[in-house]
Chains A and B, each alone.
Chain A
Amino acid sequence: MNNRKKAALTCAALSVMITSICLYKTTSVTMMALFNLAMPLSLLGIALYLFDVAVSVMKLRIKAKHH
């Protein structure tokens, strides 16, 4: 697993963790964390993952062309 995937997974894990805290106890602080931390982290994870997929696909295409 490359670093981009690891970073994406870490972001997703952190986002799920923060979301769980908000689900366990909803206060202004945990809700603030949900919207201002968990959601951006989740989006960042998705963006990193999609970028990684795009790079992998491009690499595979280049590899296939060379063969």
Chain B
Amino acid sequence: MKPKHGLDDEDTRSRVWRHVFLALGIIVVPVLYGAATSSVAFERSKSLEFCASCHVMDPFVEDLKNPSSDLLAAKHYQYRRINTHQCYACHADYDLFGPVKAKVNGLSHFVHNYVGTRHEIKLYKPFPNARCLQCHDGAKSFVKAEAHTDIMAELRSDGMKCAECHGSAHPEHAGVPK
């Protein structure tokens, strides 16, 4: 028997199925696929190759791979003191939200890079010793070095910067746009 509003059961069922398929195609698939891809992309974005895919990073990456460079970042890269994710290892904070903050900052860099508001590349805040100490503190070579013994407390409290003695990590004018 046909219902009063003119829709029979068959019609209603096919309508419902059409909506289920449409909901899958328009909501479920893009959202799940997008979420999975974002997580993969975020993981890949830690790599040096990814950082190097922005041309503004060229001077930094060139120096990193330059055999005659004796700057800190180059030494860390060339002697494989950091095996993978060389940029990310030093430029992400290691507190609870550090990695998330680094990625959100990275997203804003994309926008600045592509909408043309490109400025000299600067750190958001002075480079904290904690990022060096996360690997070096406790290492025999670091603890036993006489030069560190008297200033250990200052180094740990950021009172004295590692770079004051060890020099800059990157070439001085690498971050200035050409």
In the complex, what residues of B have CB within 8 A of residue A46's CB? 26-27, 30-31
Could you say which of B4, B22, B53 contacts A67, with CB atoms under 8 Å apart?
A: B4
Residue from A11, A20, A46 whose CB has the most chain B CB atoms within 10 Å: A46
Q: Among the listed B4, B50, B114, which residue makes an inter-chain contact with A26, where contact means beta carbons less than 8 Å apart?
A: B50
Chain A residues in 8 Å Cβ range of B30: 12, 15-16, 19, 42, 45-46
B31 and A23 contacting across the interface, CB-CB below 8 Å:
no
A-B contact pairs, 26 of them (CB 8 A): A5-B22, A8-B22, A9-B25, A9-B26, A11-B26, A12-B26, A15-B30, A19-B33, A19-B37, A23-B40, A26-B44, A26-B50, A28-B110, A30-B41, A32-B110, A34-B34, A35-B38, A38-B34, A42-B31, A46-B26, A46-B27, A49-B26, A49-B27, A60-B5, A63-B5, A67-B5
B69: interface (CB < 8 Å): no
Q: Is B107 an interface residue (CB 8 A)?
A: yes
Query: With A12-B26, A46-B27 given, is the CB distance from A64 to B5 under 8 Å?
Result: yes
Kindly state the separation between the CA atoms of A20 and B34 in the bound complex, as whole angstroms: 9
Least CB distance from B148 to A in Å reads 38
What sequence of 0s and 1s flags, for each residue 87-129 of chain B, a beta carbon within 8 Å of any chain A beta carbon? 0000000000000000000010011011000000000000000
Contact with A along B26-62 (1 / 0, CB 8 A): 1101110110011011001100001001100000000
Q: B: which residues have CB within 8 A of A?
A: 4-6, 19, 22-23, 25-27, 29-31, 33-34, 37-38, 40-41, 44-45, 50, 53-54, 107, 110-111, 113-114
Bound form: Cα–Cα A5–B15 in Å: 13
With A28-B113, A53-B19, A67-B5 already in contact, the answer to whether A19 and B34 are too (CB < 8 A) is yes
Contact with B along A13-38 (1 / 0, CB 8 A): 00110011011001111111011101
The answer to whether A31 and B45 have CB atoms under 8 Å apart is yes
Check A26–B26 contact: CB distance below 8 A. Answer: no
Closest chain B residue to A26, Cβ basis: B44
Q: Does A32 lie within 8 Å of B22, measured CB to CB?
A: no
Residues of B with C-beta under 8 A to A27: 50, 53
